[in-house]
Amino acid sequence: MNPFTFNTAASIVFGDGAAARIGALAAARGWQRALVVTDPGLRRIGLIEPALKALSDTGLAVAVFSDVEADPPEAVVHAATRAVLDHGADAVIGLGGGSSLDVAKLAALLAAGQEELRQVYGVGNAKGPRLPLMLAPTTAGTGSEVTPIAIVTTGTSEKMGVVSPVLLPDVALLDPELTLGLPPAVTAATGIDAMVHAIEAYASASANNNPISRALAREALRLMGAAIETAVRNGSDRAARSDMLLGAMLAGQAFANSPVAAVHALAYPIGGHFHVPHGLSNALVLPHVLRFNAETAGSVYAEIAPIVFPELGDIGSQGRGMAFADSLAKLSGRCGLEPRLRDLGIPEDALEMMATDAMKQTRLLVNNPRPLERSDALAIYRAAW
């Protein structure tokens, strides 16, 4: 067995109503002044109010930064960092989707004052220290609550990552009740995103691909494969919501240690240039990347395909990888996601530019089970268009 390293959040708290414990969890750690990082939509609908009350009831001085936007630019990270410092916070709490959690991670890091954002892009460049950190997701998608990764939009469209164990939180707080209000489209896109995390982690060419990540990926796919359509159709189904949230977290733990690859690399230009939600961007290219990879990773996909689609167990392993890609495309369609790039208004003449940009994601492409050149990326985009 090859040597490997596996890191995850120091503490994971999961369960219906777990958000009511947020104040007690913070107080038990001696926190006195906390900044909550979230987005304006969640604040507008009042989803964060119970958490704010639970924090205040335990005597914490709480302030809120609610200016997070999807695919957060550097300016939002810097603004959140200033809010931490202005409040004199001794802890940061991220509450929201992946963008809010990523901004919270970076604000906790940068507010400690030892590093600047431009210095920490890449793998292992963030050394810390950071302020104490708690992350509570409101979507079952990114798994950001248990990953050492934060994604930032630099310039107008390019996405860059900060990857370091320093970003792993002290507490990951998962309450399925916080996901009950997710609209079907968001449920579908974030759910497919989480499934991509598990699939890419399982097949990753990373030298750190390990048996723990593979076991977590398999369990994540088992949970989410059985629950995603129910969660999309009936958002109040608590069992489905619980399975999706737990599955997304397990997938996050998997890819945090066995990194994702070409699906994400090709998804980033779609989101960066055309502001397509990240999960939907992944869904648009997922089957086409899997078909490309099946030449070398077909047997790997064959191992996990029946976990999601039991009927594929009746197909010989040689053809199962391609059938897996087809079945995932059909699943996205049943969940109501647009099947083609053109359906999102992306023009055909943008594909060349997107292929060029995708090749800049070397941090991800190195993990792909089949080497991918620019011409391959362009062919995949054309197939997805």
Q: In what order do the strands lie in the sheet with 149-154?
A: 122-123, 158-163, 149-154
Q: Candidates 3.40.50.1970, 3.30.750.24, 3.40.50.620, 3.90.920.10; correct CATH number of 11-178?
A: 3.40.50.1970
Q: How confident is the model at residue 134, as a pLDDT?
A: 98
Q: What pLDDT is attached to residue 79?
A: 98
Give the angle 146-276-46 at the CA atoms, nearest 5°.
60
Question: CA torsion sign, 21 to 40 to 160 to 192?
Answer: positive
Q: What is the pLDDT of residue 318?
A: 81
Rg of the chain in Å (alpha carbons):
20
In DSSP terms, 123 is beta-bridged to 163
Q: What is the pLDDT of residue 159?
A: 85
Separate counts of helices (H) and strands (E) for the chain: 15, 9
- At 95, give phi and psi (nearest 5°): -140, 110
Cα–Cα nearest to 36, from 94, 96, 84: 94
Q: 91 - beta bridge partners?
A: 34
Instruction: Write down the pLDDT at residue 103.
Output: 98
- Do 203 and 369 touch, CB atoms closer than 8 A? yes
C-alpha angle 284-247-307 in degrees, rounded to nearest 5: 75
Amino acid 316: pLDDT:
87
Q: What is the dihedral of CA 174, 175, 178, 180, to 10 degrees?
A: 120
pLDDT tens per residue across span 120-150: 999 999 999 999 999 999 999 999 999 999 9
**What integer pLDDT is reported at residue 155 of this predicted model?**
78
Counting as low any pLDDT under 50, the low residues of the chain are none
CATH, domain 181-384, list 1.20.1090.10, 3.40.50.620, 3.40.50.20, 1.10.10.10:
1.20.1090.10
Q: Where are the beta strands (DSSP E) in 125-213?
A: 133-137, 149-154, 158-163, 171-174
For residue 317, the model assigns a pLDDT of 83
331-348 burial, b if ≥16 CB within 10 A, otherwise e?
bbeebebbeebeeeebee
List, edge to edge, every strand of the sheet that includes 61-65. 11-14, 171-174, 133-137, 91-96, 33-37, 61-65
Q: Which residues of 6-36 are buried (b: 16+ CB within 10 A; e: fewer)?
A: eebbeebbeeeebbebbbebbbeeebeebbb
Sequence ranges of the domains in the chain: 11-178, 181-384
Cα gap 382→385, rounded to integer Å? 5
Reported as a single tens digit per residue, the pLDDT across 173-197 is 999 999 998 999 999 999 999 999 9
Using alpha carbons, select from 176, 257, 180 the residue that is nearest to residue 215: 257
pTM beyond 0.75, yes or no? yes
Buried b (16+ CB within 10 A) or exposed e, 191-207: bbbbbbbbbbbbbbbbe
What residues have CB less than 8 Å from 371, skipping those under 6 apart? none
